[in-house]
């Protein structure tokens, strides 16, 4: 892992001090004179493996205490942060695991959403976004893990996926 410059260390230290590992561009704007400089430093931190882009305006900071740049965050928390805690629920094999229908820990998480589709790989976990026409409150329940709320498919809906 490459070292951090003084400006990078200043920004990373401030974010870590506030335990703000999920941050937006607005959170780091005070550290830079202009937008171009901020883009440059974000790009450098991404190259060094210290920052991962989650969505259009949200990033994840790998803490300095991470041993040799390796870090693992729970994929459910990452999925919630990517979706900004709205219009989604976690389903598929992870929901089956969560409700106890299967015992094997899945390496892929299916996120059903009204506004995103595709695949993303982060921290050796694949997050697959699947589009739904509409998501009602009857489709999911809200739970908490590691002090973070997330939406997961109801037990009844998950039972339909069990073969």
135-151 pLDDT, tens per residue?
888 889 999 988 889 99
Q: Please state, rounded to an integer, the average pLDDT across all residues of the chain.
A: 86
Sheet holding 125-131, edge to edge: 118-122, 125-131, 108-113, 88-91, 148-153, 140-145
Classify residue 66 as exposed, middle or buried by CB count within 10 Å of its CB (0-12, 13-18, 19+).
Answer: middle
Question: What is the rounded radius of gyration, in angstroms, for the C-alpha atoms of the chain?
Answer: 18
CA nearest 140: which of 159, 122, 161, 156?
A: 156
18-61 pLDDT, tens per residue?
888 889 999 999 999 999 999 999 999 989 888 889 888 899 88
Residue ranges and CATH numbers for the domains of the chain are 6-69 (1.10.10.10), 75-161 (no CATH)
CA 67 centroid distance within chain: 20
Tell me if residue 115 falls in helix, strand or coil.
Answer: coil
Q: Is the pLDDT of residue 66 over 80?
A: no
């Amino acid at each position: 892992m490459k070292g951090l410059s003084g400006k990078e260390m200043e920004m990373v230290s401030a974010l870590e001090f506030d335990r703000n590992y999920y941050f937006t561009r607005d959170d780091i704007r005070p550290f830079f004179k202009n937008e171009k400089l901020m883009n440059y430093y974000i790009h450098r931190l991404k190259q060094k493996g210290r920052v991962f882009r989650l969505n259009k305006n949200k990033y994840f900071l790998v803490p300095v205490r991470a041993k040799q740049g390796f870090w693992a965050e729970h994929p459910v928390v990452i999925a919630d942060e990517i979706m900004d805690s709205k219009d989604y629920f976690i389903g598929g094999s992870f929901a089956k695991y969560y409700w106890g229908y299967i015992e094997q820990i899945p390496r892929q998480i299916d996120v059903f959403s009204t506004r995103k589709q595709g695949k993303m790989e982060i921290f050796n976990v694949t997050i697959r976004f699947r589009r739904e026409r509409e998501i009602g409150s009857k489709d999911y329940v809200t739970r908490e893990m590691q002090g973070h709320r997330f939406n997961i498919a109801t037990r009844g809906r998950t039972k339909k996926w069990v073969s």
